[in-house]
Structure 1
Amino acid sequence: MLQVIQNVFAIEENGSTLTLHTRAKADIAIILAILKRHDPLRILRYEPPSPDVLSYTGFWKDPTYADVVDGIMCVTGLRSLSDRPNLANLWTDDSIWTHVFKWLEYMSTPNREFEPAEVDLADRDFFLHHFACPSIDAIVFSLIDLATDSFEPILLLPEVGAASFFIRLWLYWPGLCLTADGAEHENSGKLLISILEAIQTCLAPYMVEATREIVMRNMLSTVANRPDRIFRIIAGHIDHLLALTPRSASEQEIWSLHVQLVSMLADLPALRPKGGYPRRIVRSLLAALHAGLVPLRGAYIAESACNLLQKFLESSTDAHLVTTAIRHGIFPDLCIMSTAPGGEAVVRPTLVLVAGALTTPTALRGFHNTLSMRRMPQLQYTRQDKDTILSCEQRLALITKWQTEWADLQTCGRRECPDPDSTDMRACICGEVLYCSVECQRAHWVDGGHRRTCNRDTKVHGVLSAKAFSFLVAIARVNLEGAYKEIIQRLGDTLQGEDSISVALDLTYGHARWSNRAQAFPGFDFATCRTFLVNVAFRQGGRRCTRPMLFFPDWSAGHANLNMAYRSLSQSWFKTDDTLMEESLTRRERLFGRPEGVPKGPRRE
């Protein structure tokens, strides 16, 4: 019967349309006669054998396995023929797909429950490589070779489980699929290619929304509704691809299909982990990026890994992924790629994103360590990269001073705190105020006025911690002290004695950038000259965020006219050359004042 079906396909390739219709009808009549006299698909309607009756390896030793494979191929062949004009009567019932995929699940699950412990694993792997993989490859290819109108109804049948079959093969069979034909064989990895094409077909935009929903639902159920597990498994796939010898003839095709599929999955909101993408995916892509720089591997690996890294880093809502990439040496690798023809345009967006993440001590130390271990000629750095390195060195010098400052700030933000010596701190969701207990936080929210000044937004993910925000304030303060005279000079005669100044500081490019516009406006509800409202733009993961910070000159510390009911960590102090300071105040007292009242300090003439 299979020979008859193959003859019909041969007619399509070699015969004219008239000959095709004439001879096809005769051959189909023969097929129908065979189906009436003897059902070649009868074996598919039997249940797969249980392990206590026939082991998995015993199934492949039994000649019956060939009848099962032939029956499945016969089903796909008939379904394909039924799409041709005047041949629709070949296919009348979709119920056979339930039996087909039941057998496929059996054939693709070597670790059967109750499998005898004495089964030789080497013997089992032999049958997997030489019988299971070639058979499943032919079946998968024949399924995805069906027309969309024929393939899609199979996916839409929930009792069939077609989508879960393809997903399980893709998630848990990559190593076996790649090595089934030998690393140097010309057909090496063809089963994985068929599986990758099948998954992409299932998620393709031309499929109806119901089909994609079923596929994604099956994908999530396969990993117990943990999307992060999908990307951990993908990271393992990448590691396995990199472990192959670069002599594989299909390496580039496999890598290209894999990258397309991962990019497609990263664009699906339903598959984005709530806690963020796992760091392992970044480490695996960085290994691919580094491997792509080796002459033995193709440059397409490095470029595609860079594009995927950019996608994952941009979609992250916290700094964990970017910090992991920095600590594992993404910056030197990107700088090497930028020296290749056309490489600058590929890596520059990722370099900007990495440079903008250098606002935490962890990221700065990781950046410094990777540069120390992998020294590169200065010629390989562009001007922007040199600015990033210089900014990193300047901020590293700030960490020691900030650590002392942060220790002084770790006291409860509620003035009436019953335990002011407590060091067990919690931060408000805005990241600006610390509390020793829930009771103090609730009291300060109502009585202390934090409800009026808190800029928290429960819809925004990845809120900065108070510690991270405090270091960001320290970076902004250092830049404000350096640009103080220039900003005052820029305003010129428009600045009045009691005006406050609004400026914007952009840290998203690594080095600090002040906006070209500085605005003077009447002061807040307190009268103090030269109060700065600095809107600081920074990167939190891939997101660009802006936070307002208030800065007063040091000489204003302790003045009665600054006796506000609420102070936040961003209401910091900065030094200028011509200021008098109240030396008796600690850093904490400069921000929050003394509980017993702060004496009036010297005023500037």
Structure 2
Amino acid sequence: MQEIARLHAELKAMVENESSTARQRAFSKAKTILARNRAFSLMQNEPPEPNQGDARDNAMVCITVTTFGTLALWFEVASRPEYASLAKNLPVPLDLLLRWVDFVHPIHGRTTQPKYLTGNHEQVITCVGALLLSMARKKVVPFVRVAGASAHDVHLILDLWLHYPRHMADAESGHSETSGTLLLTMIEMVEGLVNDEVRYTAFVSGLRRAGQRRGDHGRHVLRSIAEQTVFLQNFSMPSLEWRWVWELHFKVAALVTQLPFFYGVRIPRQVFRRIFGGVRYCLEYGEDADGDSEMEHAVESAANFLTGLLTNTNQSISLARAIEVGLYGLVEDVKHVYGSDTPYVGYIENHLLNGLSIFTVLRAFFRQYGSSFLLDDLCDEDEEGLSDNFLKFRYSFRIQWRTYTYLTETRPWKRLIACSNTHSDAQHELEVRPCPCGEAFYCSRRCQRAHWHAEHRAVCCHTNGLWGLQGERCYASRIVLFSKTFIGAINLNDALFLIITANRIITGKRAEIESLNPTSGQRRWILVDMTDARPEDFASRCTFGLWDRIKDKISEDGRNDDGAKPPLILDAAVKFRIAGLDVEHALPSLRRVD
């Protein structure tokens, strides 16, 4: 330990001394100490077995942590050009050093004896975090490439990042330093991950191990991020010391959760609730007297994080949950603090508007904000005091809500949609019911059986979710129109709402559509585009025309000879947006235009 203490003092002098003569003298002494090869002699051997857990292990943890502090300083010094000769001989082989990191890791529970280590876990993760960051950023050794290729090493680093609030719970100081160090290390680990197949595979394995005991690794990571947000709120102060940590926190969260591994994960409401609380904390201390804007950068990173959560998925449940815990109110708060033209919440705002065309999202919006948006028409004086954003949402919401009311009160789809069974001469009944796949509708069980055996059995996609958009079967406790549904991209309520909405828009264009006179080989096409968030003119969402099957010569991949794809091959379709995915789906045949 005396050699470690001497080396640490000389390395520190090489960094801090202003006199070049003093730095050179310290450099010579440091090289002499390293040449004796006794400073890091402990780490030249394998660490003890990880499950001994006796007093000797705890004493060795103290020595190892002290050594890590000196090693971190060595990496800092060796990365400087004037001391580059130090980097020629690594004091401890990288693979052996990572095994010693494993030895002292809090995951093994060795560092909980106050007799041997005052402060328990926080000193360990502070020193380990500083060492990992020095290796990752100083590029003296290929740490990111080596450690990133090992699922076990990635798991150790992930555990430090995910659970540092628990490890630091009893610490009296050092919260910002430790959390910032671990966040910077994670940035080094995650950047460029998708372009490196080996590292990405190891990283995903580490994420799976992080949630192995909890059954849902994706949600475990999200809950840990939410816990970190609460931790930062409880321990941080509105000072410059903490502001950069908030930006890093949301930046790392965005980088990790936008990986393909998280695609389709349903976000718990509690996660949104805690993240929103963190964003509002940043808004509260948005700018100090000196005009500092670090908290605005934190809010921008948080907006990118939330955008990723809402778009890196194939379902609308997460958006509905976010609305229920106050997403629209949060967007308004951000715009109130930083201005109505704030660009980084614009995508979330458009995403909310687009979501109103989905039954599940519209109902969530009504539960949270219905009393505000369903007020009677306001007079000009009242509207002058409201924001343009509110009026835009109000207009769009009220139009969609009229369709929702029409759908739930009259259930027009039961009379509008034609029975899919064309394989028998049975007398059709007046009302139809949908197949769970949403592709076929039947007026009776007899017609359903006939159509099932004739053709639908071979093509029914109900196991892949409604309209084949991937999902899992779920029996919900409260469904408006049906007792069971498929939670995936959309459910049956969403599909029927889209069908009826599209039909009402087409009805407004019926005269123009019927004026088209298709000749032999031609057919009409109609497309209702629900992905345009602008609510000014809903009728403009309907486009139509004639498609010449002979002239266009559609190839096997559905494209023309010139490479262009026809607007729609089938007669009529609706285009809608689920998260970040635009979906175009054929509308069922109707008995009549309503």
**What TM-score do the two structures reach when normalised by structure 1?**
0.69
**Which of residues 399, 403, 412 in structure 2 aligns to 1:391?**
399
Query: Does 2:540 correspond to 1:514?
Result: yes
RMSD: 4.8
CA contact (8 A) 1:98 1:159 kept: no
How far off is 1:238 after superposition? Answer: 2.9
CA contact (8 A) 1:357 1:540 kept: yes
Where do residues 447-462 of structure 1 align in structure 2 (5 Å cutoff)? 462=488
CA distance in 2 between partners of 1:335 and 1:362 (Å): 22
Where do residues 499-538 of structure 1 align in structure 2 (5 Å cutoff)? 501-509=524-532, 511=535, 512-514=538-540, 518-520=544-546, 533-538=571-576
How far off is 1:21 after superposition? Answer: 5.9
CA distance in 2 between partners of 1:448 and 1:150 (Å): 57
Q: Which residue of 2 aligns with 1:220?
A: 208
CA contact (8 A) 1:406 1:467 kept: no
SS in structure 1 at match of 2:357: coil
How far off is 1:539 after superposition? Answer: 1.7
How far off is 1:320 after superposition? Answer: 1.0
Flag the structure with larger Rg.
1
Over 3 Å counting, the alpha-carbon distance change for 1:32 and 1:305 in structure 2 is closer
Where do residues 435-446 of structure 1 align in structure 2 (5 Å cutoff)? 442-445=452-455
SS in structure 2 at match of 1:574: coil
CA distance in 1 between partners of 2:151 and 2:310 (Å): 38
CA distance in 2 between partners of 1:226 and 1:480 (Å): 44
The superposition leaves residues 455-490 of structure 1 with CA deviations (integer Å, 9 ceiling, x where unpaired) of x986877554444322211112222233434666xx
The superposition leaves residues 407-452 of structure 1 with CA deviations (integer Å, 9 ceiling, x where unpaired) of 997988576699x99x99773646344696996664142699999x
Q: Which residue of 2 aligns with 1:318?
A: 315
Query: Does 2:498 correspond to 1:472?
Result: yes
The superposition leaves residues 321-341 of structure 1 with CA deviations (integer Å, 9 ceiling, x where unpaired) of 122223333224324433455
SS in structure 2 at match of 1:502: strand
Query: Does 2:354 correspond to 1:356?
Result: yes
Over 3 Å counting, the alpha-carbon distance change for 1:523 and 1:93 in structure 2 is closer
How far off is 1:257 after superposition? Answer: 1.0
The superposition leaves residues 75-122 of structure 1 with CA deviations (integer Å, 9 ceiling, x where unpaired) of 4455666664333246374454155223322xx13757xx9xxxxxxx
SS in structure 1 at match of 2:585: strand
How far off is 1:256 after superposition? Answer: 1.0
Query: Where in structure 2 are there 5+ consecutive unaligned residues?
Result: 288-294, 376-381, 472-487, 551-569
Over 3 Å counting, the alpha-carbon distance change for 1:234 and 1:132 in structure 2 is closer
Q: Which residue of 2 aligns with 1:482?
A: 508
Q: Which residue of 2 aligns with 1:201?
A: 188
Q: What code does the residue aligned with 1:502 have?
A: W
Over 3 Å counting, the alpha-carbon distance change for 1:370 and 1:49 in structure 2 is closer
How far off is 1:315 after superposition? Answer: 2.1
Q: Which residue of 1 aligns with 2:585?
A: 547
CA contact (8 A) 1:506 1:513 kept: no
Q: What code does the residue aligned with 2:400 have?
A: C
Query: Where in structure 1 are there 5+ consecutive unaligned residues?
Result: 116-122, 525-531, 550-568, 576-605
Where do residues 282-321 of structure 1 align in structure 2 (5 Å cutoff)? 282-291=272-281, 294=284, 302-321=299-318
Where do residues 548-587 of structure 1 align in structure 2 (5 Å cutoff)? 548-549=586-587, 569-575=588-594
The range that moved more, 228-237 or 311-320, is: 228-237
Q: Which residue of 1 aligns with 2:127?
A: 138
Over 3 Å counting, the alpha-carbon distance change for 1:296 and 1:445 in structure 2 is same
How far off is 1:168 after superposition? Answer: 0.9
Where do residues 101-500 of structure 1 align in structure 2 (5 Å cutoff)? 101-105=101-105, 108-109=106-107, 111=109, 130-146=119-135, 147-150=138-141, 152=143, 155-156=146-147, 161-177=152-168, 180-181=171-172, 187-205=174-192, 209=196, 210-224=198-212, 226-244=217-235, 246-247=237-238, 250-269=241-260, 271-274=261-264, 276-278=266-268, 280-291=270-281, 294=284, 302-344=299-341, 345-372=343-370, 378=383, 379-382=386-389, 384-403=392-411, 405-406=413-414, 413=421, 427=435, 429=437, 431-433=439-441, 442-445=452-455, 462=488, 464-485=490-511, 495=517
How far off is 1:279 after superposition? Answer: 5.2
CA contact (8 A) 1:317 1:543 kept: yes
The range that moved more, 408-417 or 385-394, is: 408-417
The range that moved more, 343-352 or 189-198, is: 343-352
SS in structure 2 at match of 1:308: helix
CA distance in 2 between partners of 1:441 and 1:19 (Å): 91
CA distance in 2 between partners of 1:431 and 1:140 (Å): 54
CA distance in 2 between partners of 1:280 and 1:417 (Å): 54
How far off is 1:546 after superposition? Answer: 1.9
CA distance in 2 between partners of 1:348 and 1:110 (Å): 45
The superposition leaves residues 124-165 of structure 1 with CA deviations (integer Å, 9 ceiling, x where unpaired) of 799987253134313321331232242517844978944322
CA contact (8 A) 1:288 1:302 kept: no
